[in-house]
Amino acid sequence: MAITQRSATVVVPVGAAPRGARRLPWFRREALEGIGLLTPTALILFGLVLYPFFYAIWLAFTDKAVGSPGSFVGLANFRYVLGAPQFSAALVNTAVLTVSAVAIKFVLGMAVAVVLNQQIRGRNFFRAFLLLPWVMPAFVVYLVWRWLYDPLSGLINYGLLDLGLIGSPIAFLSDRSTAMASVIVAHCWRAFPFFAISFLAGMQTIPQEMYDAAQVDGAARWQQFRHITLPSLYHIIGVVLMLSTIWTANAFEPVYLLTGGGPSDATVVYTLLAYQMGMVNMRLGEAAAVSMLFLPLLVGLILVVTSLLQRRAH
Partner 1 sequence: MREPVSVRILTYACLALFVVMVAVPLFWMVTTAIKTNKELYEDFSYFPRQPTIVNFVRVIQRDGLLINIRNSLAVALTTTAVTVVVSAMAAFSIVRYRYRGRDVIGRLILFKYLLPTAMLFVPLYAIVVSLGLGNTLRSLMLTYLSFTVPFCTWMLMGYFRSIPPELEEHAMVDGCTKVGALIRILLPLSAPGLVASAIFSFTLAWNEFLLALVFTMDQSTMTVPIKLSMMVVGDQYIWGQLMAGAVLASVPVAILYFLGQRFVVQGLAAGSVKG
Count CA atoms within 13 Å of residue 170 on its CB side: 20
Cβ burial, residue 101 (10 Å; 0-12/13-18/19+): buried
Instruction: State the Cα–Cα distance between residues 185 and 172, nearest whole angstrom.
Output: 11
Please name which of 3, 214, 30, 230 lies closest in space to residue 113, comparing C-alpha atoms. 230
Nearest distance from residue 305's CB to partner 1, in Å?
Answer: 6
- Least distance in Å: CB of 42 to partner 1? 6
Q: Which of 19, 107, 129, 230 binds partner 1 (CB under 8 A)?
A: 129
Residues forming a β-bridge with 68: 65
Closest by CA to 151, choosing from 127, 133, 131, 168, is 168
Stretch that binds partner 1, among 8-16, 72-80, 139-147, 168-176 (CB under 8 A): 139-147
Given 101, 183, 278, 293, the residue binding partner 1 (CB under 8 A):
278
Does 149 participate in binding partner 1 (rule CB under 8 A)? no
Tell which positions 17-46 bind partner 1, by CB under 8 A: 27, 30-31, 33-35, 37-38, 40-42, 44-45
Among 63, 150, 175, 265, binds partner 1 (CB under 8 A): 150
**Residue 297 contacts partner 1 per CB under 8 A:** no
Stretch that binds partner 1, among 11-19, 72-80, 120-128, 166-174 (CB under 8 A): 120-128
- How far apart CA 222 and CA 199 sit, in angstroms, is 17
Contact stretch for partner 1 (CB under 8 A) within 10-18, 85-93, 99-107, 126-134: 126-134
By CB under 8 A, the residues from 153 to 212 that bind partner 1 are: 153, 155, 158, 189, 194, 197-198, 201-202, 212
Told to check if 111 binds partner 1 by CB under 8 A, we report yes
Chain positions 48 to 107 lying near partner 1, rule: CB under 8 A, are: 48-53, 55-56, 59, 64, 66
CA dihedral 49, 51, 54, 58 (to 10 degrees): -130
**Among 4, 7, 119, 177, which residue interacts with partner 1 (rule: CB under 8 A)?**
119
> Is 156 within 8 Å of 148 (Cβ atoms)?
yes
> Cα(283)–Cα(71) distance, rounded to whole angstroms?
13
CA distance 304 to 215: 37
Least gap, CB of 183 to partner 1 (angstroms): 15
